[in-house]
Structure 1
Amino acid sequence: MMDEPVGTCARRDDLETDTLFEKGRNVWCVAHADRAAPLIDAGAYFGALREAMIRAEKTITIVGWDIDSQMRLVGEDGTVEDDLPETLAAFLSELVHRNEDLHVRLLLWDYSVIFSLERELAPRLRLFWTTPSRIDLCLDDEIPLGASQHQKIVVIDDKVAFSGGLDLTRRRWDNSTHKASDDRRVDPSGSTYAPFHDVQMVVDGEAAQRLGELVRERWLIATDETLEKPQADDTGAQDPWPPSLAPDFTDLPIAISRTVPSQHGSPAVTEVEKLWYDMVGRAQRLVYIENQYLTVQPFAEKLAQRMKEKPELQALIVVPETYPELLAKASMLEGRQRFMQVLRNADVADRVRLVYPRAEDDGVNVPIMVHAKVMVIDDTLLRIGSANLSNRSIGFDSECDLTIEARSDAERESLAHIRNRLIGEHVGIAPEVLQQELDAADGALFTALDALPETRRTLHPVRDEEIDIPMSLGPIGDPPEPLYDLKAAARAAPDPRWWPTIVRVCIAVGVIGLAILAWRHSPVSDPQKVGELFRSLSAHPWAPALVIGAFIGGGLVFFPVTVLILATVAVFGSWVGMLLAATGATLSAAATYLVGRGIGQRTLRRIVGPRISRVRHGISDHGIITIASIRLVPVAPFTLVNLVAGAARVRFFDYVIGTLLGLAPGLLTMTLLAQQVSQLINEPTAGRIALFAGLVVVWGAFLFALQFLVRRFRQAHS
């Protein structure tokens, strides 16, 4: 994990002695920026990003929760003024075609199936196999079980960087007019969507360099591949700052705060959380928040405490009206209710307005989706980032926030103008008009808002207290830390990742149990017919050859070898099935090894992606013990290891013997389990269920012991 940035992080004359920022506690780094500007709504962000990427010379690195190859990268008017394609993949492809020195890298969270309906299917196929070789895509799964890579960062040549709440994906584009109905708000499938509000920040100079270091560190974690820093070459180099964008701030420090979950024995980084509390502790008259979620009760307690200390302090919190998804409603919505209850219990809720924005046009009145992660304290602090005010964002997901602390009258004036733009957008009023009302009300925001005329844009009170949530899913949907204690695991064994294995084993047992129940209640669950089917298959003269062919063919299409082993043992019985499975798995490994050897490392990297580096480093010692240990403690799927071993030209004899040795314990345990599963399907008695559960426990303990010994061996010889 990157704890110390390379180089100096801020010039001494940029930081006042009473600055809020504390390096290593509430910020990772405070770095100088020559220019900075908030980009309000995706139209402004996409337009500015497009201009900047066109001017890229060496590198574009994109890190996101989601990336969609078919999203339209267009500006505020929904069109483009250059001669490049609109859609992201085609746009990036044309950029690298025109500039032979340009390399584009995309790091996309290897997302949970829970979000599959919200995202592009087969992103690797769309964004990797169909684009030029100088566009790399990596699916990042190097995070704790259930967590997400939630940062949304784009860095261009280490000279300009964008960070905030916006991903380059579908259903994000909108502009600040937020029309209730807009033909330009159409996703790649042709479906329209509701108005959408979010905010990004663009910075340059040293701040962009620090964000470049951050994304290269994330790439290293995900791929085991070190990226070189772009070499500074100012001779004839273009300034990638968007030409049409005037900065709101110049010559100032930018604070970068992170959330990084505890993993692999490393401590969690909670700068995001600490800075929230510290910012509220500086509030005098006004706290303005835009956030998708609102569940962090300690933050509510800090806010309540500060409001008691400062009787004139008011808080305006802009959120979505509700959450349509079941998990969000049963976790985030309930958390929001609890958040507000803290304020009511402290008798300060009358100075807090929890509201959501609506837009009305031609009789159509719709709520606006608030996805932004913004906090403004008076006219002194402005924070824009990826972190929601949720438990997930304080210690579970990876996050990145940028914060500006105004030091001069000019900076305070610019900061107040941005705050007024944000609020004014929601009530249909120009920022100058809102400032006039604030001046007339002596800075009392609620008085100023109540004095404004009605427009097509309004802020409505949220009525969460009237919503009944029958069941809390907060511990699942909004956990404050990883679901397993990595620190305790690190003390117990060399590898702190054994708890996720236990979780996966429990899930697997549950899935098998559900499958058995479903089978028993299905119309084809007659045990006699099933037995006859298995016997007829095993008695076929070509059955062994067909099984071995299935293993080889399955390996070529990345079909899980475990499933084939279980099916083979179920059809042919314990020991004959195990022999056939061992033969099939070994021949499959040999076949895919030869494929990898034939296509070579460069082509294989293009097909598989940058994560091939992690597998290649895992088999860097080309010996029998190394191959056997990788089979025992996999670093990647079965077929991928085979392909990389071939491309890396591991000695074939070592590879085959190592594969047999490494597969043997798993084959034996799966044979025993498959036999029990077969008996359970035909006659699921209580005794057989108990025996099956006992075998799973023994199997897990046996594998953990093997993994422990293998890792100790690796450490001793590393």
Structure 2
Amino acid sequence: MSNNASSLFKENENCWQTSQATHATPLIDGANYYRALHKAICNAKRSIFIVGWDIDSRIRLLRGDEEKNASAPSVISELLKWKAEQNENIKIYLLRWDSSLAFFSQREMWAKEVWDNKTPDNVKTTLDSTIPMGGSQHQKIVVIDDEIAFSGGMDVSTNRWDTREHLIDQPERVGPDGPHGPLHDVQVLTSGPIVESFAQLVRWRWDRINEQKATPFSPVKSTGSGVPPSWPNNFPPSMADLPCAVARTIPFMDGVEPVQEVRRMLLDLIAQAERFIFIENQFTTRQEIAEALNARLKACPELQVIIVSSYEPKGKFESEAYWASRIDFKRILENGVDDNRVKVTYSTLTNEAGESIQKRVHSKVMSIDDRYLVIGSSNISNRSMSLDTEVDLVFAGDTSQNQQDIIRVRHDLLAEHTGRAIEQVEQIFKSPDPLNNLINDQAPHGYQLAEVRDDQFTNKAWQPVFSSLSDPEKPLIAPIQMSNGKVVGVGNPKQKTIVFMMIALLILVLGGLIFWAGHSIPWLTADNLEQFLQDTRGTMWVIPTICVIYIIAGLVFFPVTVLSLAVAAVYGPIWGPVYGMLGALLSSATLFGLGHLMGIKGLRKMGGAKVQAVDDKFKDSGVVGVAVIRLIPIAPFSLVNLVAGISSIGLVQFLAGTFLGMFPPMIAKGLVGDSLGKIFTNPSPETIGYLVAGIAFWALMIYVCQKLARMYQLKKADAS
């Protein structure tokens, strides 16, 4: 074995580029990463690149007193807007995966539109939909001013923030979707020559899918041995002058040759191990890696291996694809090896009150003795080795100081997982049996490592089905060879496409039901319905009938104007508007309640900017705002009712505004609807004149309402 650890790195084989990190510091857990990222964005002067599986505009980077006392906004979208407005020459690029159906409910809807609406023109957003069907954009990179880079396992996404204490009760551990449990993750911050590799990578990702190319690489020449100006000074470097390599997974994409540098790097690293391999990873399913670990354990009698992952799965896909496969991974790993030499574990806490909680592990870290440290985005899964886009940063221990830096990171992480001080872990690793000394005699009420028992979560019956969908090695749909010989990949459907397909499916189902009802229910004909309405005139059933019709029409988003015209045609210009107004109010109240039950999460996610526009009107203007929306509709009648249910306005205020905004136009609709009905039964100059007058009155009312609304908005703006 070579004394020079970095000699293992082979460009275009197990890595893309080799380089050096002048300064580096691991950022352990979300609170630290978000705090460092916030400071670095505040320091930025020329450019910011963020590439992620997700970039959620709602995420708060700071919490508690730090958030209250900050001079810059905490929410990521507000922070980037602030930075872009503060410095009009700065260029900000956001590249996020255009996610698939599997993550539809977990992601912010209409992400590009949201970011474009929230930020100025020098913030550019794009969604990458070029990843093969079943794969994902999984790299997590931030490059600032081409002088510092963040990379690792963390996104700016929901359910990521937590402190290193991973408390059972943590009020600040709440995101846009509500509270979440403890989560552990690792990112690394670097400066020096290595940043150019990440700068090239993010520009390549951006330029291949955008006509408007990113700003060229432009680092500021270093003026000394200190950290660059954009480095967050609240996180001083803990490592220095480390040789390193960048390893990627790139799947087949149009015009791109696939690479599996991560897979080859991990296999080569494992083959170098002699005494201790430490792994923490979200998923461990890749049997090839289990076989390599097992072979190395058998070849090196002194070698010990510990893996730290999560305790329980989230949902059927995780239990049947990842936890079922972890059973196989563990079986292969331990085959023919003494149990005392290998442990697959999770980190758990039981406090003095008997409350228990398990830390969810999302990090992707591996250390090999004191020679190598990997911090990256790659899971030990099939998809991370071949189908997703991944990037790992691998540090090599060429000098004694490099080796001490690598060891310190390992001890720091194991101290967190076992509830010990770093000094205690250091002493344990001086013993001949560090693995079992780590597991034994752990603090009774701190975090402890316990061995996984995955058979309690799955009987593996559905493993073949769910693994093929959730953890595939190849695209779910193979690339297609065209007649001209070109091979074209089939990507995941875009988020917009999924939404439109769902809407089309809903319309198709409703249309099918209406068609079926029209042909299967003998009495359900237009003539019978008209006769039924006519028969209710002057009876006790008129009001219940109108109310039921308006409620049903509201639920299926039937245009309220068409319905009001029809009611006026049947009941006349006086009672038609009265009945129509009553039905509209009841329909509004019904959908208001439905919107309240649906909640912000579902409705706001589906409606995107249109929902936000309606809600902003409610917040700004109350009853008057509702009246303005009803007079000058900015969204369909039913959507306004649903959005009102999740807004800050009350039901009484909403109905009052609805009445004020709808009753004047309802009178005009009564004249028009009544005239339309009479034209068909008794066409005469008088009825035609009524129709023309009604339409003119309606148009005049819309014009006057627009003027009044504009005057009100200008007056309110002047007052504020």
Seen in structure 2, the aligned counterparts of structure 1 residues 219 and 368 have a Cα distance that, compared at 3 Å, is same
2:413 to 422, 430, 437: 422
1:201 paired residue number = 188
Shift of 1:455: 3.7
2:266 to 272, 276, 282: 276
Confirm or deny that 1:477 pairs with 2:467.
no
**SS of 2:7's equivalent?**
coil
1:365 paired residue number = 356
1:562 paired residue number = none
What is the one-letter code of the residue matched to 1:417? R
Asked if the contact 2:351–2:445 (Cα under 8 Å) also holds between the matched residues in 1, the reply is no
Seen in structure 2, the aligned counterparts of structure 1 residues 415 and 110 have a Cα distance that, compared at 3 Å, is same
What is the one-letter code of the residue matched to 2:315? E
Confirm or deny that 1:318 pairs with 2:318.
no
2:96 paired residue number = 108
1:214 paired residue number = 201
Following the alignment from structure 1 to structure 2, what is the Cα–Cα distance between the partners of residues 352 and 175? 29
Shift of 1:432: 1.1
Following the alignment from structure 1 to structure 2, what is the Cα–Cα distance between the partners of residues 498 and 172? 32
Following the alignment from structure 1 to structure 2, what is the Cα–Cα distance between the partners of residues 367 and 34? 36
Q: Which segments of 5 or more consecutive residues in structure 1 lack a partner in the other structure? A: 1-13, 537-606, 608-718
Seen in structure 2, the aligned counterparts of structure 1 residues 86 and 534 have a Cα distance that, compared at 3 Å, is farther
2:133 to 145, 162, 166: 145
Seen in structure 2, the aligned counterparts of structure 1 residues 330 and 251 have a Cα distance that, compared at 3 Å, is same
Following the alignment from structure 1 to structure 2, what is the Cα–Cα distance between the partners of residues 377 and 169? 30
Shift of 1:422: 0.3
Seen in structure 2, the aligned counterparts of structure 1 residues 121 and 458 have a Cα distance that, compared at 3 Å, is same
How many aligned residue pairs are there? Answer: 516
1:170 to 158, 162, 170: 158
**SS of 1:222's equivalent?**
coil
Seen in structure 2, the aligned counterparts of structure 1 residues 295 and 137 have a Cα distance that, compared at 3 Å, is same
What is the one-letter code of the residue matched to 2:192? G
What is the one-letter code of the residue matched to 1:329? S
Shift of 1:246: 2.0
Asked if the contact 1:181–1:361 (Cα under 8 Å) also holds between the matched residues in 2, the reply is no
Shift of 1:137: 1.0
Q: Deviations over 1:129-188 (max 9, x none)?
A: 121111111111111112111100000011000000000112111111111110110112
Give the alignment of 1:401-550 within 5 angstroms.
401-439=392-430, 441-442=431-432, 444-466=434-456, 467-472=458-463, 473-486=466-479, 489-490=480-481, 493-497=484-488, 525-526=516-517, 528=519
Seen in structure 2, the aligned counterparts of structure 1 residues 85 and 521 have a Cα distance that, compared at 3 Å, is closer
**SS of 2:26's equivalent?**
strand
Structure whose alpha-carbon radius of gyration is higher: 2
Seen in structure 2, the aligned counterparts of structure 1 residues 500 and 383 have a Cα distance that, compared at 3 Å, is closer
Comparing 43-52 and 244-253, the one that deviates more: 244-253
Asked if the contact 1:427–1:455 (Cα under 8 Å) also holds between the matched residues in 2, the reply is no
Shift of 1:116: 2.2
1:251 to 241, 260, 268: 241
Following the alignment from structure 1 to structure 2, what is the Cα–Cα distance between the partners of residues 63 and 460? 35
Following the alignment from structure 1 to structure 2, what is the Cα–Cα distance between the partners of residues 500 and 321? 32
Following the alignment from structure 2 to structure 1, what is the Cα–Cα distance between the partners of residues 311 and 508? 40
Seen in structure 2, the aligned counterparts of structure 1 residues 356 and 501 have a Cα distance that, compared at 3 Å, is closer
Confirm or deny that 1:378 pairs with 2:369.
yes
Following the alignment from structure 1 to structure 2, what is the Cα–Cα distance between the partners of residues 145 and 535? 47
1:390 paired residue number = 381
Shift of 1:382: 0.5
2:679 paired residue number = none
Q: Which segments of 5 or more consecutive residues in structure 2 lack a partner in the other structure? A: 528-608, 610-720
What is the one-letter code of the residue matched to 1:422? L
Following the alignment from structure 2 to structure 1, what is the Cα–Cα distance between the partners of residues 69 and 27? 19
Following the alignment from structure 1 to structure 2, what is the Cα–Cα distance between the partners of residues 531 and 53? 67
**SS of 1:179's equivalent?**
coil
Following the alignment from structure 2 to structure 1, what is the Cα–Cα distance between the partners of residues 65 and 407? 26
Shift of 1:448: 4.1
Seen in structure 2, the aligned counterparts of structure 1 residues 226 and 515 have a Cα distance that, compared at 3 Å, is closer
2:28 paired residue number = 40
Shift of 1:398: 0.3
Following the alignment from structure 1 to structure 2, what is the Cα–Cα distance between the partners of residues 275 and 445? 24
1:88 to 76, 84, 89: 76
Q: Deviations over 1:604-638 (max 9, x none)?
A: xxx9xxxxxxxxxxxxxxxxxxxxxxxxxxxxxxx
Asked if the contact 1:519–1:525 (Cα under 8 Å) also holds between the matched residues in 2, the reply is no
What is the one-letter code of the residue matched to 2:397? A
Asked if the contact 1:291–1:370 (Cα under 8 Å) also holds between the matched residues in 2, the reply is yes
1:19 paired residue number = 7
**SS of 1:525's equivalent?**
helix
Shift of 1:248: 2.0
What is the one-letter code of the residue matched to 2:185? D
1:64 paired residue number = 52
Shift of 1:350: 4.5
Confirm or deny that 1:225 pairs with 2:216.
no
Q: Deviations over 1:313-340 (max 9, x none)?
A: 1111111112122112221112111111
What is the one-letter code of the residue matched to 1:193? H
Q: Deviations over 1:328-373 (max 9, x none)?
A: 2221112111111212434455522111111344633111110000
1:267 paired residue number = 257
Following the alignment from structure 1 to structure 2, what is the Cα–Cα distance between the partners of residues 350 and 534? 78
Shift of 1:474: 0.7
Q: Deviations over 1:97-140 (max 9, x none)?
A: 21222121111100013212222223223322121111111111
